[in-house]
Structure 1
Amino acid sequence: MTLKINIMLVSILVAIILVLAGITYTYTQTISRHTVENYQQALTKEAAKMIRMWLDHRFKLINALARTLEDLYLTQGQDPRPILKMTMAAGNFSDVYLGLFNGTMIDGANWYAPGDYDPRTRPWYRRAMEEKKLTLTRPFMDQGFWKMVIAVVVPLVHNNEAIGVLSANIILDTLQASVMDLRIGKYGYAFIIDSQGTILVHQNKSLMMTTKIQESDPALSTFGSYFPGRDAGSFSYRDRMLSFHKLTDTGWYLCTNVDQEEALALSKNTGMLFAMAMVLKILRILALLLFLTVGGFALILFISKNRFEAIVSGKDKDLRGEIIRRKELETHYRTLFNMATNAIMLTRNGIYIECNQKALNMFGLAEDKIIGRTMQDLSPAIQMDGTATKLKLTQLEQSHPSGGSDVLKWTFNRADGSEFPAEIGISTLKLDREMVKVYSIWDISKRVNAEQSLRQAQKMAAMGEMLSAIAHQWRQPLNALSSYIASLTPAFYNQMISAPFIEKLVREADTQIQFMSRTINDFREYFRPSKNKQTFEMMDAIQSAVKLVEPQLRQNNITLDLDLADAEVTMPILGYKNEFVHVLVNIISNAKDAINERQANSPDRTVHKLINLAVFKNSYEICLEIRDTGCGIPSHLLEKIFTPYFTTKGTATGTGIGLYMAKMIVEKEMKGTIHVENRYTGVMFRICLPLSPGENGSGENPAKDNKENHD
């Protein structure tokens, strides 16, 4: 009887163990399947975020452009084409255009609509008007490129009334390249469908816009009724797994398709950890049951438990040490942050969220007066170059949406209302899982004041020469006026004074006086500083400089040769005209002195006294070459001539700041280049300046000449 009971007990124990093993296996399989699905959905979600960020960047560009057009262009009558072109380049759009409520079509790619073309009848225009917000159109064939595109459209509103629609085309190949970069394992891939299941982007282009996903494979026939109404999910068929995630505000779904075995391999680490935890729980139950028959198992489990706890304890200690180290690093970097010699300010979505002590000192504001404000709040309405601050911020955001710009100049306000110039550098970093922009700001007030002092010193040094030139210019008209006055006495005694005599005398005297007045105006214009950058003609600046120095050159028997082959061609330059005239006068005056020095060093022979000015223009810049037949510059001094206070004339006649200021004006203020080199006789200075923005051939890519429609 006892044997039967023992056999029965053992049988029951074995049965329980088998049942528990079966439950464990089934439960583990279920966990593995759910883990694979969750892992795939997580990958799909992250990929969808990347695509959404790609789209959001272009949405922000178009929204910003729409607001700019509403505020500054369409309501003030300005030509919007330049900013349409800028947005095309910034967002990598194939075209940016707008249709107005009166039927006018304005295209950023310089496409001009046929006479019967009415944008108000186009699907992209109607789509924006129906949605009344930024949205996407269905893909369509762009007749200009013969490529499939989608359009980002947004209505333009002024005074609560729709005045048109802004539209930007994105070539589907561009979106497809971003999707194809999303590799899932070795053989997995990603694609995009719309809410009806139509394939929009796929590695097999023959399926795009022609096939629905549920029609692409018989095993997917039920997928069409599965995914509508869901934001995310997974669908298994045959030996593959299809996961999808909805792209917010687009009606599209990003899908990933991967082999189930490969998906299991990708997620095996997560699945194994979870399965191990469940197995340990079941082993504890088995250990309790087996304790009655196998005491040794209890000891093994006890040892394993102690070993596991030791590992966990070690990991806990490591984690605590890592936390302490991170806190020390945070304290270290916080100290460096506040001890920096430049102002450092962090922004999120354009709003300041943190700043260091140097920023508080620089602006003279308490921290709560900076945090929560924007860059525009801390700036004057107009920047130092005459551009509105709001417009310049928009341009900065469009040209560097993710930061990483070169160092640029900016004007800020202090707490007392005074303005100060600064240089700022912008970069981005990830903070608390969000991207923030870091602004490094340097106060350059002292440097700007020093540069202004150098310019004033240069003007004062040049003023002596200019006064000498005025005296020389006036000598002849003064002699003429003196002779006119002296002729009155004998004419009176000889009874020769008559109406014709007086009229002739007055007319000739007035001619001399007008000449003297024009001379004063020329020199007064020379010493008047330019306040803002403006577009001026290179030939006008050259003529102004020639007027000022020509009397001195004639006095020294120096010939000025103007080689102006392109004189009839417009040569617009953006910069400071009067300061540029200073540069030319300084270089020509130096050439005059060099020629005179060569003549003085060679008294026994005649020096060919010549200064030549040559101008030529290419597709993106204008160059001016000034050559002389002077004594030249020693080769070991060529690198030093642009150094402040360096002169080869001696302290009696030279200040050493003329060429330094010339380099500052040409390269720093006008973004050009200045170069000097010795020639066979004398020296050649070459000045190259960029053409004024907006000129043909100014470096911009030419727009498409032919385009049939935007539909």
Structure 2
Amino acid sequence: MGRNGVDRDRYQASQSCSDRFQGAFGAPRAEREQQFSKFMEHLPLAVSIKDKSGRFLFANEFMKDLLAADDPVGKTLGELLPPEEASMMAVNDHQALTQGLLLIQNRVNDTYGDERIFETYKFPLPMPEKRTLLGSISVDITERKRAEQALALKQQQLEELNRSLEQRVQQAVDELRQKDRLLIQQSRQAAMGEMINNIAHQWRQPLNNIGLIIQNLQLQYEAGEMDSEQMATEVGKAMDVIAYMSRTIDDFRNFFHQDKERQPFVVNQMVSRSLDFVLPGLKNSGIDVECREEPNVSADGYPREYMQALLNILNNARDVLLERKVKQPLIRIAIFRENKRSVVTIHDNAGGISDDVLPKIFDPYFTTKEQGKGTGIGLYMSKTIIEKNIEGSLTARNVDGGVEFRIVV
């Protein structure tokens, strides 16, 4: 294309832009052209028009600064840009001319050598005589990109902080769980000592019975009164007692097997089995037990852990009754349903707990017993088992001259 062709295209391109501007404002032609010129001069966008060969027909001031060219009109990209950049721009120009509106992002160095990021719209401009030019508008999005990168960095830092916090929280949770496991183990070991003592009480009478049966067998044999039927009867009595003692050992062993999964259980049975462990010791200490219950009160959770919570509370009641030397010591137990949940209350008549101490009784290692007579973890573990493991509630209050523990599951 010759110089005259470039001038004609330049005139038509500028006239086309000017005419659109003039039509919008309806001012006299000279004034409109001046307005359009000022508009393009101060427009904070890079605007250009090129012909199909890539030669500039129009470039506003922003585009001139971007190209570092006083007057790019009549020049091609190859004359203004490095070869690699010019080649890439030519490909984009061709795509916009053949396919329509094209949106691209490109990075260029400004006159100060700083990298700038532009979002560029390229689009065909239909002209008279079936000719098509290429329009281009570039928006400097460098600051937006920097803000996005800064935001992404902050987001990454926040995510890393969250991960770090999650790890620290998980570590703290794991440490607390380990602490709870150790406390449970410690509590179970303490319960084991209690149970061994209870078994000693449970076995004393059966062992006496077996001794009497053996003595009776010997006396009958010496008197010549022993026949096969009598022998079978006495042996049967002895075997019944031995079976009872064996069940006691089984109950003792099963108690220390940990429940692996939640399961439904009958609360009445758990209370009954717990009493089997402690009742001989309570009777030996002169402590009476009264139990009022609705039949077949059920719950869901971990039955052996539930029993351990009951035993801790029963042992606590026994200890305080003995410590305070209560006349006619009594433990009252009630089992019933309330709002579709199971409720067990355990009440003693030991005089209650002072108001300043009552809120602390479930704290770990808190005890009102003399040094060496209590670990202070029994009630804490009972609350942990009922509330954390079984998702129920365990509370205590002063009522009727004593303390009432209330378990709701």
Instruction: Give TM-score, length-normalised by structure 2.
Output: 0.66
Supply the distance in 1 between the matched residues of 2:403 and 2:222 (Cα, whole angstroms).
Answer: 61
Match of 1:320 among 130, 134, 142: 142
Map of 1:7 onto structure 2: none
Map of 1:476 onto structure 2: 205
User: Deviation digits for residues 95-134 of structure 1, max 9, x if unmatched?
Assistant: xxxxxxxxxxxxxxxxxxxxxxxxxxxxxxxxxxxxxxxx
Matches for 1:337-356 after TM superposition, within 5 Å = 337-342=159-164
2:283 pairs with 1:554: yes
Map of 1:543 onto structure 2: 272
Supply the distance in 2 between the matched residues of 1:661 and 1:640 (Cα, whole angstroms).
Answer: 13
Supply the distance in 1 between the matched residues of 2:315 and 2:381 (Cα, whole angstroms).
Answer: 15
Note the C-alpha offset of 1:522: 2.3
Matches for 1:508-523 after TM superposition, within 5 Å = 508-523=237-252
* Residues 526, 285 of structure 1: alpha-carbon distance in 2 compared, 3 angstrom cutoff: closer
1:663 is matched by which residue type in structure 2? K
Note the C-alpha offset of 1:538: 1.5
Map of 2:345 onto structure 1: 625
2:34 pairs with 1:299: yes
Note the C-alpha offset of 1:507: 2.6
* Residues 341, 285 of structure 1: alpha-carbon distance in 2 compared, 3 angstrom cutoff: closer
Supply the distance in 2 between the matched residues of 1:591 and 1:286 (Cα, whole angstroms).
Answer: 95
Map of 1:662 onto structure 2: 382
User: Deviation digits for residues 312-351 of structure 1, max 9, x if unmatched?
Assistant: 97x999843232122112112213323444587xxxxxxx
2:301 pairs with 1:575: yes
Note the C-alpha offset of 1:485: 3.1
2:382 pairs with 1:679: no
2:382 is matched by which residue type in structure 1? A
- Say whether the 8 Å CA contact 1:534–1:575 is kept in structure 2: yes
- Say whether the 8 Å CA contact 1:594–1:631 is kept in structure 2: no
Note the C-alpha offset of 1:588: 1.1
Match of 1:652 among 362, 367, 372: 372
Q: Which moved more, 1:451-460 or 1:493-502?
A: 493-502
Match of 2:314 among 582, 588, 601: 588
Supply the distance in 1 between the matched residues of 2:267 and 2:191 (Cα, whole angstroms).
Answer: 22
Matches for 1:232-243 after TM superposition, within 5 Å = none
Supply the distance in 2 between the matched residues of 1:450 and 1:286 (Cα, whole angstroms).
Answer: 79
- Say whether the 8 Å CA contact 1:545–1:584 is kept in structure 2: yes
Q: CA RMSD in A?
A: 3.4
Matches for 1:187-586 after TM superposition, within 5 Å = 282-284=20-22, 291=29, 295-309=30-44, 319-342=141-164, 444-564=173-293, 566-567=294-295, 570-586=296-312
Supply the distance in 2 between the matched residues of 1:287 and 1:465 (Cα, whole angstroms).
Answer: 100
2:148 is matched by which residue type in structure 1? R
Map of 1:274 onto structure 2: none
Supply the distance in 2 between the matched residues of 1:684 and 1:667 (Cα, whole angstroms).
Answer: 17
Note the C-alpha offset of 1:671: 1.4
- Say whether the 8 Å CA contact 2:18–2:33 is kept in structure 1: no
Supply the distance in 2 between the matched residues of 1:280 and 1:552 (Cα, whole angstroms).
Answer: 108
1:499 is matched by which residue type in structure 2? S
Taking every aligned residue pair, what percent have the same amino acid on both sides?
A: 30
Note the C-alpha offset of 1:493: 4.2
- Say whether the 8 Å CA contact 1:632–1:682 is kept in structure 2: yes
2:321 is matched by which residue type in structure 1? I
Map of 1:239 onto structure 2: none
- Say whether the 8 Å CA contact 1:595–1:609 is kept in structure 2: yes
User: Deviation digits for residues 171-217 of structure 1, max 9, x if unmatched?
Assistant: xxxxxxxxxxxxxxxxxxxxxxxxxxxxxxxxxxxxxxxxxxxxxxx
Supply the distance in 2 between the matched residues of 1:489 and 1:287 (Cα, whole angstroms).
Answer: 132
Note the C-alpha offset of 1:535: 0.8
Supply the distance in 1 between the matched residues of 2:336 and 2:234 (Cα, whole angstroms).
Answer: 46
- Say whether the 8 Å CA contact 2:45–2:140 is kept in structure 1: no
Note the C-alpha offset of 1:559: 1.5
- Say whether the 8 Å CA contact 1:342–1:442 is kept in structure 2: no
2:246 is matched by which residue type in structure 1? S
Supply the distance in 2 between the matched residues of 1:525 and 1:469 (Cα, whole angstroms).
Answer: 16
Supply the distance in 2 between the matched residues of 1:489 and 1:553 (Cα, whole angstroms).
Answer: 35
- Say whether the 8 Å CA contact 1:597–1:631 is kept in structure 2: no
Supply the distance in 2 between the matched residues of 1:634 and 1:287 (Cα, whole angstroms).
Answer: 90
Supply the distance in 1 between the matched residues of 2:358 and 2:273 (Cα, whole angstroms).
Answer: 28
* Residues 310, 501 of structure 1: alpha-carbon distance in 2 compared, 3 angstrom cutoff: closer
Q: Note the residue ranges of structure 1 that are not aligned, 5 or more in a row.
A: 1-277, 345-357, 363-422, 424-440, 600-605, 690-711
- Say whether the 8 Å CA contact 1:598–1:607 is kept in structure 2: no
Map of 1:198 onto structure 2: none
Supply the distance in 2 between the matched residues of 1:658 and 1:286 (Cα, whole angstroms).
Answer: 88
Supply the distance in 1 between the matched residues of 2:374 and 2:19 (Cα, whole angstroms).
Answer: 93
* Residues 488, 623 of structure 1: alpha-carbon distance in 2 compared, 3 angstrom cutoff: closer
Count of residue pairs brought into register by the alignment: 306
Supply the distance in 1 between the matched residues of 2:341 and 2:36 (Cα, whole angstroms).
Answer: 83
* Residues 537, 299 of structure 1: alpha-carbon distance in 2 compared, 3 angstrom cutoff: same
Supply the distance in 2 between the matched residues of 1:287 and 1:484 (Cα, whole angstroms).
Answer: 125
* Residues 287, 338 of structure 1: alpha-carbon distance in 2 compared, 3 angstrom cutoff: closer
- Say whether the 8 Å CA contact 2:394–2:405 is kept in structure 1: yes
- Say whether the 8 Å CA contact 1:541–1:577 is kept in structure 2: yes
Instruction: Give TM-score, length-normalised by structure 1.
Output: 0.39
2:348 is matched by which residue type in structure 1? D
User: Deviation digits for residues 274-318 of structure 1, max 9, x if unmatched?
Assistant: xxxx99752357999955xxx4444344334434448997x9998
Note the C-alpha offset of 1:479: 2.0
* Residues 477, 308 of structure 1: alpha-carbon distance in 2 compared, 3 angstrom cutoff: same
Supply the distance in 2 between the matched residues of 1:514 and 1:541 (Cα, whole angstroms).
Answer: 21
Note the C-alpha offset of 1:463: 1.1
Map of 1:220 onto structure 2: none
User: Deviation digits for residues 535-585 of structure 1, max 9, x if unmatched?
Assistant: 111112111112112111111111111121x22xx4331100011011111
* Residues 465, 491 of structure 1: alpha-carbon distance in 2 compared, 3 angstrom cutoff: same
* Residues 288, 571 of structure 1: alpha-carbon distance in 2 compared, 3 angstrom cutoff: closer
Supply the distance in 2 between the matched residues of 1:613 and 1:486 (Cα, whole angstroms).
Answer: 40
User: Deviation digits for residues 448-471 of structure 1, max 9, x if unmatched?
Assistant: 333222211111101111111111
